[in-house]
């Protein structure tokens, strides 16, 4: 279903084989509390969601599929992460100066799952701020290396770019043309969910 005059769509309405596991619906993050309502959907701009569908189709040829850790992120959630990080812009975008591309609806955090439901071997967990999380880090486990090769190849081919510090973060190559989507532009039910978690 489209949201906000087609600015955002639910990812699993575009491709139901993409799994959703929004990590900020839980308390195990740097803010130490849930930042999203349990029913808050995984949203992206329609063009970005279509790119994600292309990447997922490619991965399925190798017995893998995408799992979404984060997609559209309200500015309120970004501010909570910024405060929790101690205002460290090496890992968390400053929402006042440079809003996260997640808040533009054109960035996504992903991991991998096998088509039989087993989680695939990946470098680190979510929001790991160690050198091992860098997108170009050379890992000792050949299975992790192969999974990262497949993930990057699928996402790059679909039109995404990478973030050097985070292997899980990808952004639409057209991000410069896609402006911030403020909470006030969302439908009232979504706004209410976001305001509960300020």
Is 10 tagged catalytic? no
How far is Cα 36 from Cα 60, in angstroms, rounded to an integer? 29
The three-state (H, E, C) secondary structure of 129-150, written as one string: CCHHHCCCCCCCCHHHHHHHHH
Alpha helices of 3-141 — where are they, by DSSP H?
A: 11-14, 46-60, 75-84
Q: Which residue has the tokens 């799992």?
A: 67
Residues 6+ apart with CB under 8 A from 149: none
Pairing of strands 166-172, 107-114: antiparallel
Catalytic residues: 166
């Amino acid at each position: 279903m489209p949201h906000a005059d087609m600015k955002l769509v639910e990812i699993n309405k575009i491709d139901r084989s993409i799994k959703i596991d929004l990590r900020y619906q839980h308390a195990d993050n740097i803010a130490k509390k849930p930042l999203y309502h349990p029913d808050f959907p995984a949203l992206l701009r329609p063009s970005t969601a279509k790119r994600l569908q292309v990447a997922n189709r490619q991965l399925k040829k190798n017995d893998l599929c995408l799992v979404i850790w984060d997609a559209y992120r309200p500015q309120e959630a970004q501010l909570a992460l910024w405060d929790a990080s101690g205002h460290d812009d090496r890992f968390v975008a400053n929402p006042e100066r440079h809003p996260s591309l997640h808040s533009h609806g054109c960035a996504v955090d992903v991991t991998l799952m096998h088509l039989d439901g087993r989680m695939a071997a990946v470098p680190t967990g979510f929001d790991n701020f160690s050198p091992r999380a860098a997108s170009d880090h050379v890992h000792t486990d050949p299975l992790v290396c192969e999974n990262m090769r497949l993930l990057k190849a699928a996402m790059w081919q679909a039109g995404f770019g990478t973030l050097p510090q985070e292997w899980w973060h990808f952004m639409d190559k057209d991000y410069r043309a896609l402006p911030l989507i403020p909470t006030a532009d969302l439908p009232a039910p979504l706004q209410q969910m976001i305001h509960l978690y300020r």
